[in-house]
Amino acid sequence: MKKLYTFVVDYQGGTYISQIENESDSPYNIFKDWVKTCDFLEIISKRINRNKLIDKIEKFEKVPLPLDNLNNVWCITLILLNKLALINIIKTDRSP
């Protein structure tokens, strides 16, 4: 069953929020799938190549880390166009 994940990205003074559905329980796989499909990369620049970014994530084994004292919340940082992107991933309950 697919689960819902919310991504909250802080980048250059802006906050970008998006959601994806994913069957994986692995924050790493969820993050890579988000990179493949998110609108955030187009919003900040057409110069970012998704495939190169995924290769970089795999090469450096960039893994979202769980946040202390929180359940189902992870964080990862990336440098995009020489600027820091702070990305939080939250497993989201679908209940209204």
* Average pLDDT rounded to a whole number, residues 15-33: 93
CA nearest 84: which of 18, 12, 25?
12
Taking only the tens place, the pLDDT of each residue in 76-91 is 998 888 999 999 999 9
Instruction: Tell me if 85 sits within 8 A of 15, measured CB to CB.
Output: no
| For residue 46, pLDDT beyond 80 | no
Q: What mean pLDDT is reported for the chain?
A: 89
Burial class (CB in 10 A: 0-12, 13-18, 19+), 5: buried
Is residue 73's pLDDT more than 80?
Answer: yes
Cα first-last separation, the chain: 19
What average pLDDT does range 4-22 have in this prediction?
95
Question: What is the rounded radius of gyration, in angstroms, for the C-alpha atoms of the chain?
Answer: 13
Q: Looking at the predicted structure, is the pLDDT value of residue 74 above 90?
A: yes
